[in-house]
Amino acid sequence: MVPPLVQFANNLAGTPSPMSQAYTNNVTRGNLLVAMIFDKSPSVPPPTNAVTDTLGNTWIFIDRALRPGVTAYVAMYYTVAATSGPCTVTYTNPNVNTTLSLVEFSSCKGTLDTFADGATNGGTSVTTSAFTTAQASEVLLFFEGDNGSGPTSVTAGASSMTKIAVDAGVYYLVTTSVQTGITATANYGGAVNAAAIIAAFPIITSILLDRNGPDWPLGFVSVATPGSPVGFMINVDPNNYAAPNTPTSVNSPEYSPACYEIMVQAMKPATHGTQNNTGNIYVVRKGQGTSNRDDTGVIVATVLPGQTLSLVAAALNLNVWSPYRYYLDADNPGDGAFITLIVQ
């Protein structure tokens, strides 16, 4: 496959926040954008809403990790480019010393699978906690901040990660098999204080847009964080352009899809084919509460590992189900479902 890394840019000036950095080239609609922050002297930890950009994308907070020794954090955020064009990213948090690094990846679903972090106080390496990926093909993105001259090498499991920029502590790896219970490690030439984050982003295998059916596979919908439901249409329409309640725009198709049946298979990708989920998944709707597995007023169905749920219309009703109505939650990170729409 084509390497998913499109471009990298960074600002290592160590200037006070707000700090901005532009992507060198125009970003492409639908591509994954990731911002990595090394906040060396914050008065508060990096906020969850600290990243914005000139295209108006909504940036999602992934994680932050405290570097021991002094108050310093590494943090990571991501978004999907809603439009193509020049893009300048800004990080805002009261401080006096910040660096900002940006990457753009193609061929990614635009969703987060999982993440892990770690720290060391005077060690010669930093190792994250263990993590497991949901599918074979994913981009692993590693970011670290230290008080030395950067890592001499970085590994994820048994694989060496590719250096994007050693001075910015950014490395990545494209996996070809499901990674189970692995850690990521950065090695240094001497003792350092360091913190690190690794995030896994699923790569798109195929995206089918069979709006007229008769079958429309939506692919695997993964729940990265239990309690944070994911929409059924996340793979084929991550910005909900075709949702019934989305105002018509230049991005809208002719009509919002509806179907006769929605199949929900409670399985996840294996190295080859599929395997049962670890735990239960939940089909939910949006309500006035948390709208997740703990909000019992919105649970449409609980699906056990390996089971298949079919939402079927009455024989004469034809296409009545909107896939935008439903979301997926899970008890275990990386669990999810294969969703298929049947259109008559």
123 and 226 co-located in one domain: no
How high is the pLDDT of residue 166? 67
Average pLDDT on 9-18 reads 85
Q: 250: which residues sit within 8 A by CB, 6+ positions away? A: none
- Within a domain: 72: yes
Residue 240: give the domain boundaries: 215-342
CA distance linking residue 274 with residue 256, whole number of Å: 30
Compute the chain's Rg from CA coordinates: 21
- Within a domain: 49: yes
177 and 310 co-located in one domain: no
- Within a domain: 244: yes
129 and 105 co-located in one domain: yes
Asked if residues 51 and 18 have their Cβ atoms less than 8 Å apart, the reply is no
- Within a domain: 208: no
Predicted confidence band at 210 (pLDDT cuts at 50, 70, 90)?
confident
Predicted confidence band at 3 (pLDDT cuts at 50, 70, 90)?
low
249 and 323 co-located in one domain: yes
SS3 at position 166: helix
190 and 69 co-located in one domain: yes
197 and 228 co-located in one domain: no
Predicted confidence band at 209 (pLDDT cuts at 50, 70, 90)?
confident
- Within a domain: 207: no
Q: 230: which residues sit within 8 A by CB, 6+ positions away? A: 111, 221, 222, 223, 224, 327, 328, 329, 336
Predicted confidence band at 177 (pLDDT cuts at 50, 70, 90)?
confident
CA distance linking residue 154 with residue 184, whole number of Å: 7
| Ramachandran class of 288: left when φ > 0, alpha when ψ lies in -120 to 50, beta otherwise | alpha
145 and 112 co-located in one domain: yes
- Within a domain: 220: yes
31 and 163 co-located in one domain: yes
Among residues 327, 323, 179, 339, the alpha carbon closest in space to that of 267 is found at: 339
If one compares 299 and 242, the residue with the highest pLDDT of the two is: 299
Average pLDDT on 162-171 reads 87
What percent of the chain stands above pLDDT 70?
95
245 and 169 co-located in one domain: no
CA distance linking residue 65 with residue 88, whole number of Å: 25
Query: pLDDT tens digit string along 223-233?
Result: 878 999 999 98
Asked if residues 200 and 133 have their Cβ atoms less than 8 Å apart, the reply is yes
How high is the pLDDT of residue 334? 78
How high is the pLDDT of residue 41? 79
Q: Among the three residues 202, 235, 264, which one is the final residue of a domain in this structure? A: 202
Query: pLDDT tens digit string along 29-69?
Result: 889 999 999 998 778 899 999 999 999 999 999 999 999 88
Q: 248: which residues sit within 8 A by CB, 6+ positions away? A: none
How high is the pLDDT of residue 110? 83
Average pLDDT on 161-181 reads 87
- Within a domain: 210: no
Average pLDDT on 257-261 reads 87
277 and 172 co-located in one domain: no
Q: Is pLDDT at 250 greater than 70 in this prediction? A: no
173 and 269 co-located in one domain: no
Domain count across the chain? 2
Query: pLDDT tens digit string along 96-124?
Result: 788 999 999 998 888 899 999 999 999 99
How high is the pLDDT of residue 1? 46
End-to-end CA distance of the chain: 34
Tokens of 339: 């969703």
- Within a domain: 296: yes
Query: pLDDT tens digit string along 281-340?
Result: 999 999 999 999 999 999 999 999 999 999 998 766 776 888 999 999 999 887 899 999
132 and 248 co-located in one domain: no
Bridge partners of residue 33, in order along the sequence:
79, 104
DSSP state letter for 258: -
pTM of the model: 0.65
Q: Among the three residues 152, 172, 202, which one is the final residue of a domain in this structure? A: 202
